[in-house]
Amino acid sequence: MIEVENLTKDYGEFRAIDNISFTVEKGEILGFLGPNGAGKTTVMRILTCFFPPTRGKAIVAGYNCFEDSLNVRKRIGYLPQRVPLYEDMKVDDYLRFVAAIKGTPAKEVNRKAAKVMDDCGLGDVSGKLISTISGGYRQRVGIAQALVNDPEVLILDEPTVGLDPKQIKEIRNLIKDLAGKHTVILSTHILPEVSILCGRVIIINKGKVVAEDRPENLATDSAKRMLLRINGNAQTIEQELSRVGGIKGAEREPASGDGNVFIVVLEDEKQGRQSIQAMIERNRFELVEMRLLEVSLEDIFIKLVTKEEA
Protein backbone atom coordinates (compact mmCIF):
# COMPACT_ATOMS: atom_id res chain seq x y z
CA MET A 1 0.00 0.00 0.00
CA ILE A 2 2.88 2.35 0.78
CA GLU A 3 6.37 1.96 -0.62
CA VAL A 4 9.14 4.31 0.30
CA GLU A 5 12.54 3.99 -1.32
CA ASN A 6 15.71 5.86 -0.41
CA LEU A 7 13.84 8.96 0.59
CA THR A 8 16.03 11.97 1.29
CA LYS A 9 14.96 15.51 2.02
CA ASP A 10 17.24 18.50 2.45
CA TYR A 11 16.18 21.87 3.77
CA GLY A 12 19.04 23.93 2.43
CA GLU A 13 22.12 22.56 4.18
CA PHE A 14 20.13 20.59 6.71
CA ARG A 15 19.33 16.97 5.90
CA ALA A 16 15.97 16.28 7.53
CA ILE A 17 15.68 12.66 6.42
CA ASP A 18 18.43 10.52 5.02
CA ASN A 19 17.85 7.54 2.76
CA ILE A 20 14.74 6.16 4.39
CA SER A 21 13.08 3.04 2.97
CA PHE A 22 10.13 1.05 4.23
CA THR A 23 6.88 -0.52 3.10
CA VAL A 24 3.47 -0.74 4.69
CA GLU A 25 1.00 -3.49 3.87
CA LYS A 26 -2.70 -2.98 3.39
CA GLY A 27 -4.64 -2.78 6.66
CA GLU A 28 -1.53 -2.40 8.78
CA ILE A 29 -0.98 0.22 11.48
CA LEU A 30 2.60 1.41 11.32
CA GLY A 31 4.04 3.46 14.14
CA PHE A 32 6.63 6.06 13.47
CA LEU A 33 8.61 6.63 16.58
CA GLY A 34 11.28 9.18 17.20
CA PRO A 35 12.24 12.16 19.29
CA ASN A 36 11.17 15.63 18.25
CA GLY A 37 13.01 16.72 15.14
CA ALA A 38 13.79 13.18 14.00
CA GLY A 39 12.13 13.71 10.62
CA LYS A 40 8.75 12.07 11.21
CA THR A 41 6.75 15.04 9.96
CA THR A 42 9.00 15.41 6.91
CA VAL A 43 8.28 11.82 5.84
CA MET A 44 4.57 12.39 6.32
CA ARG A 45 4.60 15.60 4.35
CA ILE A 46 6.25 13.80 1.46
CA LEU A 47 3.71 10.97 1.62
CA THR A 48 0.85 13.47 1.59
CA CYS A 49 2.39 15.32 -1.40
CA PHE A 50 2.80 18.56 0.53
CA PHE A 51 6.32 18.74 -0.85
CA PRO A 52 8.47 16.41 -2.93
CA PRO A 53 11.57 14.62 -1.66
CA THR A 54 15.03 15.79 -2.67
CA ARG A 55 15.80 12.23 -3.72
CA GLY A 56 14.10 8.86 -3.70
CA LYS A 57 10.55 7.88 -4.38
CA ALA A 58 7.35 7.33 -2.48
CA ILE A 59 4.42 5.31 -3.77
CA VAL A 60 1.08 5.49 -2.00
CA ALA A 61 -1.90 3.35 -3.04
CA GLY A 62 -0.12 2.53 -6.29
CA TYR A 63 0.61 6.11 -7.34
CA ASN A 64 3.82 8.07 -7.22
CA CYS A 65 3.57 10.96 -4.76
CA PHE A 66 5.50 13.28 -7.00
CA GLU A 67 4.36 12.39 -10.50
CA ASP A 68 0.77 11.50 -9.74
CA SER A 69 0.11 13.63 -6.72
CA LEU A 70 -3.58 14.25 -7.37
CA ASN A 71 -4.30 10.52 -7.48
CA VAL A 72 -2.42 10.01 -4.23
CA ARG A 73 -4.20 12.90 -2.55
CA LYS A 74 -7.59 11.43 -3.53
CA ARG A 75 -6.75 8.29 -1.58
CA ILE A 76 -5.32 9.66 1.64
CA GLY A 77 -6.58 11.29 4.78
CA TYR A 78 -4.10 13.46 6.63
CA LEU A 79 -4.03 14.84 10.13
CA PRO A 80 -1.19 17.35 10.41
CA GLN A 81 0.57 17.82 13.70
CA ARG A 82 -0.97 21.01 15.04
CA VAL A 83 -4.43 20.07 13.71
CA PRO A 84 -4.87 23.19 11.60
CA LEU A 85 -8.59 23.77 11.07
CA TYR A 86 -10.59 26.74 9.87
CA GLU A 87 -11.46 28.31 13.21
CA ASP A 88 -14.20 30.48 11.76
CA MET A 89 -16.27 27.53 10.54
CA LYS A 90 -18.79 25.38 12.33
CA VAL A 91 -17.86 21.73 12.79
CA ASP A 92 -20.56 20.39 10.46
CA ASP A 93 -19.96 23.07 7.82
CA TYR A 94 -16.27 22.34 7.91
CA LEU A 95 -16.71 18.60 7.47
CA ARG A 96 -19.13 19.16 4.60
CA PHE A 97 -16.59 21.47 2.99
CA VAL A 98 -13.80 18.90 3.32
CA ALA A 99 -16.06 16.10 2.06
CA ALA A 100 -16.96 18.15 -1.02
CA ILE A 101 -13.43 19.27 -1.75
CA LYS A 102 -12.23 15.70 -1.53
CA GLY A 103 -14.56 14.91 -4.41
CA THR A 104 -17.63 13.47 -2.69
CA PRO A 105 -20.64 13.78 -5.06
CA ALA A 106 -22.86 16.70 -4.02
CA LYS A 107 -25.80 14.58 -2.93
CA GLU A 108 -23.65 12.42 -0.68
CA VAL A 109 -21.82 15.23 1.08
CA ASN A 110 -24.37 15.58 3.88
CA ARG A 111 -24.57 11.85 4.46
CA LYS A 112 -20.79 11.39 4.60
CA ALA A 113 -20.28 14.34 6.92
CA ALA A 114 -23.03 13.05 9.22
CA LYS A 115 -21.55 9.55 9.24
CA VAL A 116 -18.05 10.69 10.10
CA MET A 117 -19.40 12.97 12.86
CA ASP A 118 -21.21 9.98 14.26
CA ASP A 119 -18.11 7.75 14.03
CA CYS A 120 -15.93 10.29 15.79
CA GLY A 121 -18.48 11.22 18.44
CA LEU A 122 -18.93 14.80 17.31
CA GLY A 123 -22.72 14.95 17.61
CA ASP A 124 -22.61 17.29 20.61
CA VAL A 125 -20.51 19.95 18.92
CA SER A 126 -21.72 19.74 15.32
CA GLY A 127 -23.18 23.25 15.30
CA LYS A 128 -20.36 24.91 17.23
CA LEU A 129 -17.60 27.09 15.87
CA ILE A 130 -14.30 25.22 15.72
CA SER A 131 -12.62 28.06 17.62
CA THR A 132 -14.85 27.36 20.63
CA ILE A 133 -14.52 23.59 21.04
CA SER A 134 -12.08 21.80 23.38
CA GLY A 135 -8.75 20.29 22.38
CA GLY A 136 -10.13 16.76 22.45
CA TYR A 137 -12.96 17.65 20.12
CA ARG A 138 -10.59 19.56 17.85
CA GLN A 139 -8.45 16.46 17.52
CA ARG A 140 -11.53 14.45 16.66
CA VAL A 141 -12.60 16.97 14.05
CA GLY A 142 -9.08 16.61 12.65
CA ILE A 143 -9.44 12.84 12.47
CA ALA A 144 -12.97 13.18 11.11
CA GLN A 145 -11.81 15.37 8.24
CA ALA A 146 -9.09 12.83 7.44
CA LEU A 147 -11.68 10.03 7.38
CA VAL A 148 -14.49 11.78 5.57
CA ASN A 149 -13.63 10.51 2.09
CA ASP A 150 -13.11 6.96 3.38
CA PRO A 151 -9.45 7.00 2.33
CA GLU A 152 -7.37 3.90 1.74
CA VAL A 153 -4.45 5.41 3.64
CA LEU A 154 -4.54 7.47 6.81
CA ILE A 155 -1.57 9.53 7.85
CA LEU A 156 -1.76 10.85 11.40
CA ASP A 157 0.97 13.08 12.74
CA GLU A 158 1.06 12.84 16.54
CA PRO A 159 -2.68 12.28 16.90
CA THR A 160 -2.78 12.29 20.71
CA VAL A 161 -0.45 15.15 21.51
CA GLY A 162 -1.82 17.71 23.96
CA LEU A 163 -4.81 15.68 25.11
CA ASP A 164 -5.74 14.64 28.62
CA PRO A 165 -5.52 10.93 29.56
CA LYS A 166 -9.21 10.28 29.00
CA GLN A 167 -9.16 11.92 25.58
CA ILE A 168 -5.98 10.04 24.66
CA LYS A 169 -7.73 6.78 25.46
CA GLU A 170 -10.72 7.73 23.33
CA ILE A 171 -8.60 8.78 20.36
CA ARG A 172 -6.56 5.57 20.63
CA ASN A 173 -9.71 3.49 20.59
CA LEU A 174 -10.89 5.42 17.57
CA ILE A 175 -7.62 4.69 15.75
CA LYS A 176 -7.67 1.04 16.77
CA ASP A 177 -11.08 0.65 15.19
CA LEU A 178 -9.65 1.90 11.91
CA ALA A 179 -7.17 -0.98 11.56
CA GLY A 180 -8.04 -3.46 8.85
CA LYS A 181 -10.30 -1.10 6.94
CA HIS A 182 -7.60 1.50 6.45
CA THR A 183 -3.84 1.47 6.23
CA VAL A 184 -2.59 3.77 8.94
CA ILE A 185 0.74 5.48 9.53
CA LEU A 186 0.97 7.37 12.76
CA SER A 187 3.85 9.19 14.30
CA THR A 188 4.42 9.69 17.96
CA HIS A 189 7.10 10.33 20.49
CA ILE A 190 5.06 8.65 23.19
CA LEU A 191 6.40 5.12 23.54
CA PRO A 192 3.51 3.17 25.04
CA GLU A 193 1.33 4.46 22.25
CA VAL A 194 3.02 2.33 19.62
CA SER A 195 2.84 -0.83 21.68
CA ILE A 196 -0.87 -0.24 22.18
CA LEU A 197 -1.77 0.72 18.63
CA CYS A 198 0.77 -0.47 16.13
CA GLY A 199 1.42 -3.82 14.54
CA ARG A 200 4.84 -2.65 13.48
CA VAL A 201 7.10 0.16 14.48
CA ILE A 202 9.83 2.09 12.74
CA ILE A 203 12.16 4.01 14.98
CA ILE A 204 13.85 6.97 13.41
CA ASN A 205 16.42 9.32 14.80
CA LYS A 206 18.18 12.22 13.12
CA GLY A 207 16.56 11.37 9.82
CA LYS A 208 17.62 7.72 9.74
CA VAL A 209 15.81 4.46 10.44
CA VAL A 210 17.45 2.91 13.49
CA ALA A 211 15.13 -0.05 13.94
CA GLU A 212 12.09 -1.67 12.41
CA ASP A 213 10.14 -4.51 13.98
CA ARG A 214 7.04 -5.52 15.86
CA PRO A 215 6.88 -3.72 19.21
CA GLU A 216 7.01 -7.00 21.18
CA ASN A 217 10.05 -8.29 19.23
CA LEU A 218 11.97 -5.15 19.92
CA ALA A 219 11.34 -5.79 23.59
CA THR A 220 12.74 -9.32 23.62
CA ASP A 221 16.28 -8.33 22.65
CA SER A 222 16.63 -6.20 25.69
CA ALA A 223 17.98 -7.36 29.04
CA LYS A 224 15.31 -8.16 31.62
CA ARG A 225 15.19 -6.17 34.80
CA MET A 226 13.75 -6.95 38.16
CA LEU A 227 12.58 -4.80 41.02
CA LEU A 228 13.47 -5.97 44.52
CA ARG A 229 12.20 -4.49 47.76
CA ILE A 230 14.03 -5.91 50.75
CA ASN A 231 13.97 -5.04 54.44
CA GLY A 232 17.37 -4.98 56.08
CA ASN A 233 20.64 -3.11 56.19
CA ALA A 234 20.99 -1.47 52.80
CA GLN A 235 24.78 -1.77 52.62
CA THR A 236 24.80 -5.43 53.52
CA ILE A 237 22.15 -6.16 50.97
CA GLU A 238 24.10 -4.32 48.34
CA GLN A 239 27.24 -6.29 49.14
CA GLU A 240 25.39 -9.57 49.10
CA LEU A 241 23.70 -8.74 45.81
CA SER A 242 27.01 -8.03 44.16
CA ARG A 243 28.10 -11.59 44.92
CA VAL A 244 24.99 -13.25 43.56
CA GLY A 245 25.27 -15.21 40.30
CA GLY A 246 23.10 -14.82 37.20
CA ILE A 247 22.79 -11.08 37.44
CA LYS A 248 24.71 -8.36 35.70
CA GLY A 249 24.36 -5.71 38.32
CA ALA A 250 22.17 -4.14 40.94
CA GLU A 251 21.50 -0.55 41.69
CA ARG A 252 19.83 0.99 44.68
CA GLU A 253 16.89 3.22 43.90
CA PRO A 254 15.65 5.89 46.26
CA ALA A 255 12.24 4.82 47.50
CA SER A 256 9.70 5.69 50.12
CA GLY A 257 7.84 3.17 52.26
CA ASP A 258 8.91 -0.21 53.55
CA GLY A 259 12.34 -1.57 52.65
CA ASN A 260 15.11 -0.70 50.20
CA VAL A 261 14.50 -0.85 46.50
CA PHE A 262 17.01 -2.31 44.07
CA ILE A 263 16.80 -2.59 40.31
CA VAL A 264 18.58 -5.74 39.23
CA VAL A 265 19.62 -6.41 35.65
CA LEU A 266 19.32 -10.12 35.01
CA GLU A 267 21.73 -12.09 32.93
CA ASP A 268 19.91 -15.38 33.15
CA GLU A 269 16.39 -14.99 34.39
CA LYS A 270 15.88 -18.31 36.16
CA GLN A 271 19.34 -18.59 37.72
CA GLY A 272 19.25 -15.00 38.87
CA ARG A 273 15.91 -15.41 40.54
CA GLN A 274 16.92 -18.55 42.37
CA SER A 275 20.21 -17.17 43.61
CA ILE A 276 18.58 -13.99 44.85
CA GLN A 277 16.05 -16.05 46.74
CA ALA A 278 18.79 -18.15 48.27
CA MET A 279 20.75 -15.04 49.26
CA ILE A 280 17.72 -13.58 51.03
CA GLU A 281 17.02 -16.79 52.95
CA ARG A 282 20.66 -17.15 53.92
CA ASN A 283 20.83 -13.64 55.35
CA ARG A 284 17.32 -13.70 56.80
CA PHE A 285 16.30 -10.53 55.04
CA GLU A 286 12.63 -9.80 54.69
CA LEU A 287 11.46 -9.83 51.11
CA VAL A 288 8.73 -7.23 50.56
CA GLU A 289 8.40 -7.19 46.82
CA MET A 290 9.96 -8.96 43.87
CA ARG A 291 8.71 -8.48 40.33
CA LEU A 292 9.95 -8.54 36.78
CA LEU A 293 9.92 -5.12 35.16
CA GLU A 294 8.35 -4.97 31.75
CA VAL A 295 10.83 -3.79 29.17
CA SER A 296 9.62 -0.45 28.04
CA LEU A 297 10.16 0.85 24.58
CA GLU A 298 11.93 3.67 26.34
CA ASP A 299 14.78 1.35 27.18
CA ILE A 300 14.96 0.01 23.66
CA PHE A 301 14.80 3.45 22.26
CA ILE A 302 17.55 4.80 24.45
CA LYS A 303 19.67 1.76 23.68
CA LEU A 304 19.19 2.10 19.93
CA VAL A 305 19.69 5.81 19.82
CA THR A 306 22.78 5.81 22.04
CA LYS A 307 24.23 2.91 20.05
CA GLU A 308 23.75 4.97 16.92
CA GLU A 309 25.55 7.89 18.46
CA ALA A 310 28.46 5.87 19.83
Which residues are near other proteins by CB under 8 A?
A: 11, 45, 48-52, 70, 73-74, 76, 78, 80, 82, 84-89, 93, 97-98, 100-103, 145
Q: How far is the CB of 105 from other proteins (least distance, A)?
A: 10
Query: Across the strands, what pairs with 261?
Result: 229, 253
Query: Across the strands, what pairs with 33?
Result: 188, 203
CA distance 90 to 94: 6
Q: How far is the CB of 211 from other proteins (least distance, A)?
A: 28
Cβ distance to other proteins smaller for residue 48 or 187: 48
Cβ distance to other proteins smaller for residue 87 or 286: 87
Cβ distance to other proteins smaller for residue 142 or 207: 142
Q: How far is the CB of 193 from other proteins (least distance, A)?
A: 22
Sheet with 14-24, strands from edge to edge, namely 14-24, 2-11, 55-60, 63-64
CA distance 250 to 230: 13
Q: How far is the CB of 95 from other proteins (least distance, A)?
A: 12
The phi and psi torsions of 244 (rounded to 5 degrees) equal -75, 140
Cβ distance to other proteins smaller for residue 82 or 248: 82
Contact call for residues 71 and 225 (beta carbons, < 8 A): no
Cβ distance to other proteins smaller for residue 73 or 112: 73
Q: What is the DSSP letter of 182?
A: B
With the CA atoms of 292, 294, 295 and 297 taken in that order, what torsion angle do they form, in degrees rounded to the nearest 10? -170
Q: How far is the CB of 98 from other proteins (least distance, A)?
A: 7
